[in-house]
Amino acid sequence: MIYLMFYWHQSKEKKFVLDSCVYQSILTRGEPPKIYLIRVFVDLDNDPAEVVTVYLTSKIKKYWR
């Protein structure tokens, strides 16, 4: 399952603009299996959207939202 978070900012015209989002999911890798959180930060200001950062961490409790 993939979860999606959105980040908005208020423009000069007082409109709220969607400028980035974060996709995140929990996955299992390795032998013995270990659980990880993968997060992908996407900049929506560009056309097409651009991946800014991807990271994999085992600190699920700290970063899961």
User: Could you report the per-residue pLDDT of 2-53, keeping only the tens digit for each?
Assistant: 566 665 555 555 555 567 788 888 999 889 999 999 988 888 888 888 898 8
CA angle, 61 as apex, 58 and 65 as ends, to 5°? Answer: 110
More confident position, 6 or 60:
60
pTM value is 0.68
pLDDT at position 16, please? 57
CA angle, 29 as apex, 3 and 37 as ends, to 5°? Answer: 30
Residue ranges with strand state E in the chain: 3-10, 16-29, 34-43, 50-57
Distance CA 44, CA 53 (A): 13
Listed residue (5, 10, 2) closest to 37, CA to CA: 2
